[in-house]
């Protein structure tokens, strides 16, 4: 069941987020997908793009994707394929104090590796500073480049976008 916050203003709250969150045991093993797709829509590129069958929508294309986090190796292939920009990959093992989040980014200019940016939450509010550590923009990503940010440990459930700063 969707939270009132999600149905009224489109912003997932902690109860919505928990339904898509991997176990602590899986998070400790390395990068893993986070699929924040909460509404039934006719869509399944997440399923068809995953080489490990970690995401299943199934016969009814309106069903919500089901994720087997233990099959996912965090390859990020599905992130740029999702038209809803609803898929992220999180790695809590980046450093003793930082995690990473890989997200789709369809704006220009793209950040450069090493740039500091303002990380934003789901409401578009600044929640911390972050460093762009990887930017991938090849033919394989189509028109949806991938940006990986290093973020302070503990911000994995909050950071979902970023703003370039001059």
Using CB under 6 A, list all residues that contact ligand SF4: 33, 35, 37, 43-46, 49-50, 52, 54-55, 57, 65, 72-78, 82-84, 86-87, 89
User: If DSSP codes are grouped into helix, strand and coil, which group holds residue 140?
Assistant: helix
Nearer to ligand SF4, 27 or 33 (CB): 33
Cβ 29 to ligand SF4 shortest distance, Å: 12
**Residue 88: partners with Cβ closer than 8 Å, 6 or more residues away:** 33, 34, 36, 79, 101, 102, 103, 160
Cβ 154 to ligand SF4 shortest distance, Å: 22
Nearer to ligand SF4, 69 or 115 (CB): 69
DSSP notation for 2-40: --HHHHHHS---HHHHHTTPPPHHHHHTS-EEEE---S-
Cβ 107 to ligand SF4 shortest distance, Å: 19
Nearer to ligand SF4, 71 or 126 (CB): 71
Cβ distance 131 to 115 under 8 Å?
yes
């Amino acid at each position: 069941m969707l939270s009132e916050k999600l149905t009224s203003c489109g912003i997932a709250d902690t109860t919505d987020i928990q339904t898509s969150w991997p176990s602590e045991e899986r998070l400790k093993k390395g990068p893993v997908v986070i699929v924040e797709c909460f509404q039934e829509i006719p869509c399944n590129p997440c399923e068809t793009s995953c080489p490990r069958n970690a995401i299943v929508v199934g016969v009814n294309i309106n069903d919500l994707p089901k994720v087997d986090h233990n099959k996912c190796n965090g390859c990020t292939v599905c992130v740029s394929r999702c038209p809803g920009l609803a898929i992220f990959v999180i790695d809590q093992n980046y450093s003793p104090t930082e995690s990473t989040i890989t997200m789709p980014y369809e704006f220009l200019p793209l950040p450069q590796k090493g740039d500091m940016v303002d990380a934003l939450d789901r409401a578009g509010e600044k929640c911390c500073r972050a460093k762009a550590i990887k930017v991938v923009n090849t033919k394989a990503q189509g028109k949806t480049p991938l940006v990986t940010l290093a973020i302070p440990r503990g911000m994995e459930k909050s950071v979902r976008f970023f703003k370039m700063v001059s």
